Amino acid sequence: MIESRPEGPARFSDEPVSSSVRVNIYLPSALWKRKRPRIDKILRDLRKEFSISDVRTRELGPKDWTEQWKKGYETRKVGQRLVIVPSWKDYSPKPNEVVVTMDPGMAFGTGLHPTTRLCLIVLEKYLKTGEEVLDVGTGSGILTIAAVKFGAGHVTAFDIEPEAVEIAKQNAIQNGVSDRGTFHTGMLKDLGAKIPPADLILVNILAYTIIRMLPDLKAKLLRGGRIITSGILKEYAPDVETAMKKEGLEIVESLHEEDWVSLVARVAVP
């Protein structure tokens, strides 16, 4: 089923039903109208090999969506010190805790997904105070905010979705870190000089997108810099590792959660 609504993010979920799978896709109404032909083509191609039922659609009101996605979003501790708190909940931090208040809205990045959690865990471990950080595909801005609160000197963040960038900016303001974060809309290759070299690069996107971007990402690494990657399904991790080695990157750590992998790499020392 594909459900459209006047505004809000795309959300995907798999729900096993007996021996079959139902896929629910939530899209903004305007985006659904643009994407419908492409989705129909993909389904036609899949039907050549699989038994796939027809698409059923209905429109949800804003209130329906707001209450639906908030149900499972609770305060959660990630790593040693970080606590992610939904913006509509109260929380009294304990000593040494770092609190990030989040309202992801239309963007990816609640901190509940394994890919985001893995990124946050290694970010806490590898970030050094005062470093310049690059957040690739910032989504809700959660990694940018956490990086600043962990001690980054400045974070440059970008995303191809304008809505995500606006939400990331608002979340940065809400967390009191907007003075140490700069946000851009676009792709790395197009933003050029707007993206400064970084000590630490955060890339929480899909495996083969990471592979395609590796040459440009490496070019943005300062001497001694590290790249933290996530969003990698374990079956594709060997491909990412191979691509990293071809780019002269040495893998220093690999973390796993469920079917997801996070790889930390640095420029290999001859």
| pLDDT, position 104 | 61
More confident residue, 170 or 21: 170
Q: What is the pTM of this model?
A: 0.77
Most confident of 14-23, 81-90, 135-144: 135-144
| pLDDT band for position 19 (cuts 50, 70, 90) | low
User: How is domain 105-267 classified at the architecture level of CATH?
Assistant: 3-Layer(aba) Sandwich (3.40)
First to last CA, the chain: 53
| pLDDT, position 62 | 63
Q: What is the DSSP code string of 153-206?
A: SEEEEEES-HHHHHHHHHHHHHTT-GGGEEEEES-HHHHGGGS--EEEEEEES-
- What's the pLDDT tens digit per position in 64-120? 655 665 666 778 889 899 999 888 888 888 899 999 988 765 546 566 788 999 999
- What's the pLDDT tens digit per position in 31-72? 778 888 888 888 888 888 877 888 788 877 666 655 665 666
**Where are the chain's structural domains?**
2-69, 105-267
More confident residue, 167 or 29: 167
Helix (H) or strand (E) holding 63: helix 62-70
pLDDT(20) > 60: yes
| pLDDT band for position 140 (cuts 50, 70, 90) | confident
* 6 secondary structure, DSSP code: S
Give the residue among 177, 178, 202, 213 at the shortest CA–CA distance from 126.
202
Q: How many secondary structure helices (H) and strands (E) does the chain include?
A: 8, 14
| pLDDT, position 4 | 42
| pLDDT, position 29 | 74
Look at 21-25, 149-153, 185-189 and tell me which has the smallest mean pLDDT: 21-25
Distance, CA of 239 to CA of 185 (rounded, Å)? 28
| pLDDT, position 98 | 93
Look at 17-26, 28-37, 41-50, 120-129 and tell me which has the smallest mean pLDDT: 17-26
Q: Average pLDDT over the chain, rounded to whole?
A: 85
Whether residue 134 contacts residue 198, with contact meaning beta carbons closer than 8 Å, is answered with yes
- What's the pLDDT tens digit per position in 169-179? 999 999 999 99
| pLDDT, position 13 | 44
| pLDDT band for position 8 (cuts 50, 70, 90) | very low
pLDDT(15) > 70: no
**Residue 107: half-sphere exposure toward Cβ, Cα within 13 Å:** 27
Distance, CA of 208 to CA of 117 (rounded, Å)? 20
Distance, CA of 68 to CA of 70 (rounded, Å)? 6
- What's the pLDDT tens digit per position in 196-222? 999 999 999 989 999 999 999 999 999
Distance, CA of 125 to CA of 130 (rounded, Å)? 14
| pLDDT, position 185 | 95
